[in-house]
Amino acid sequence: MSGTSGTPTLVLGGTGYVAGELLRLIAGHPRLHLAGILSDSKPGERVATAFPHLAVAYPDTTYLSLESTEELIRTTPELAVLAAAPHGVSAALIDRLLTVAESAGNRLRVVDISADYRFTQAEAYQAVYKHAHGAAHRLQQFTCALPEHLSRLNTPYVAHPGCFATAMLLALVPLMALQLVEPDFYVSGITGSTGSGRNPVEGTHHPRRHSDLYSYGALAHRHAPEVVGIVERLTGHTARLHFVPHSGPFARGIHATTQARLIRPMSSGEVREALAAFYADQPFVRVLEEAPRMKDIVGTNYAQITAAADGHSIAVMSVIDNLTKGAAGGAIQWLNRLYGWDQTLGLTLPASGWT
């Protein structure tokens, strides 16, 4: 288990897959230690019961109740908070804990992984998620972007984009920022079953998903408006996104193919050179000449991308781990940034391979 020295860290979200991935990464982080993990439905239960693979790191750690979490915040001058609560829950929960910290004169550094703080306007959130935002007055306190795409934060807190959004933004942002393509994107993405969450449903039931591949939410996925909004805020250009997600027969990883028309004729090599220059100072994004493979990044915070062009159109292929780069790893990368540490701290473990 991560030691008791270093920055105390609070995880919100309890027993979900992203919370488990956060715990795994915190255990190996040299400057973070787990001060508490909130599960209002399982207070007092052992974390290792929900995550047996983490028993060696957290043999005796138990979940906190909401009341115990609030007491931890009142008595701790500064806490790092990584929020993996579900959308529709996270906004109000974070608001409540920030209010407790503010009343006590303490400080929280918050990275939210849910969808609740990814939009700048409550109306835009409600249009997608069909319910009112839980803390609309906090929206302007959060910035949503990938760490690679924003050199400076102007808000105290961060919202990490979703997993599919991460895979798409890795392609869309440089293509739009460099004005290489027309602003009409066609994306096909395949995700592993962990992207559907921990609660069993038909779409993630192994006999249904094994050795199968199928689309869902074609041209109507809720991440599309989020991605379009982020692209516009970062590049100043409006994009049109046509996204078809697919469920893959594997547990972890996302493969996304983004297609668009080039503004001027370019070769595959020229496009790859432009992408490599754009990400030259970003250690977690690797631009390859060959096709990226998920086995090379699963379990890591690394992303791999490549591009092919025929002079008139372009295809950018990107692969990430949905639980790491697309969620927990990206959030800790942001947390490193919030503390002024090297953004790679605790995140450079290579892939296991042959997963």
pLDDT, tens digit (0-9, with 9 covering 90-100), for 193-224: 998 777 777 777 778 888 999 999 999 999 99
Comparing C-alpha atoms, which of 47, 13, 8, 48 is closest to residue 29? Answer: 8
What is the token pair recorded at 150? Answer: 């924003």
The pLDDT of residue 65 is above 60: yes
Residues in the chain: 355
Average pLDDT over residues 240-251: 96
- Kindly state the tokens that stand for 131: 């319910």
Mean pLDDT of 57-81: 98
Half-sphere exposure of 147 (CA within 13 A, CB side): 27
Given the residues 80, 163, 320, 347, the one annotated as active site: 163
Beta carbons within 8 Å of 105's beta carbon, 6+ residues apart: none
pLDDT band (50, 70, 90) for residue 232: very high
Helices (H), 76-162: 90-104, 122-129
pTM (whole model) above 0.85 = yes
> Residue 72 — pLDDT band, cuts 50, 70, 90?
very high
For the cut 90, the answer to whether the pLDDT of residue 106 exceeds it is yes
The Cα–Cα gap between 132 and 251 comes to: 32
Task: Give all domains of the chain, ordered by start, each with its CATH number.
Answer: 7-144 (3.40.50.720), 163-321 (3.30.360.10)
What does the pLDDT average to over 115-126? Answer: 97
The closest alpha carbon to 334, from 193, 71, 149, 74, belongs to 149
Mean pLDDT of 310-331: 97
Retrieve residue 99's tokens.
Answer: 């209010």
Query: Model confidence at 348, in pLDDT bands (50, 70, 90)?
Result: very high
pLDDT at 2 over 70: no
Q: What percent of the chain has pLDDT over 90?
A: 91
Distance (Å, rounded) from C-alpha 214 to C-alpha 234? 32
User: In this structure, what token pair is assigned to residue 119?
Assistant: 């939009």
* Greater pLDDT, 120 or 207: 120
The pLDDT of residue 4 is 65
Tokens 């994107």 belong to residue: 185
- Rounded CA-CA distance 329/301 in Å is 5
SS3 helix, strand, coil % of the chain, rounded to 5? 35, 25, 40
Does residue 180 carry a pLDDT above 50?
yes
Distance of CA 121 to CAs 128, 131, 139, 140, 158, Å?
11, 13, 7, 8, 15
Cα 229 to Cα 226: distance, rounded to the nearest angstrom: 5
Residue (of 345, 333, 346, 344) closest to 158 by Cα position: 333
Where residue 135 falls among pLDDT bands split at 50, 70, 90?
A: very high
Determine whether 163 is an active site residue.
Answer: yes
Instruction: Give 113's pLDDT tier (boundaries 50, 70, 90).
Output: very high
User: Is the predicted pLDDT of residue 169 greater than 70, yes or no?
Assistant: yes
**45 pLDDT higher than 70:** yes
Average pLDDT, integer, range 130-139? 97
What is the per-residue pLDDT for 40? 86
Amino acid identity of residue 162, one-letter, is G
Query: Chain-wide mean pLDDT for the chain?
Result: 95
pLDDT-wise least confident of 142-151, 202-211, 234-243, 332-341? 202-211
Mean pLDDT of 232-257: 97
Rounded distance between C-alpha atoms, residue 98 and residue 83, angstroms: 12
In this prediction, residues 168-183 reach a mean pLDDT of 98
Instruction: Find tokens 């001060």 and name the residue.
Output: 35
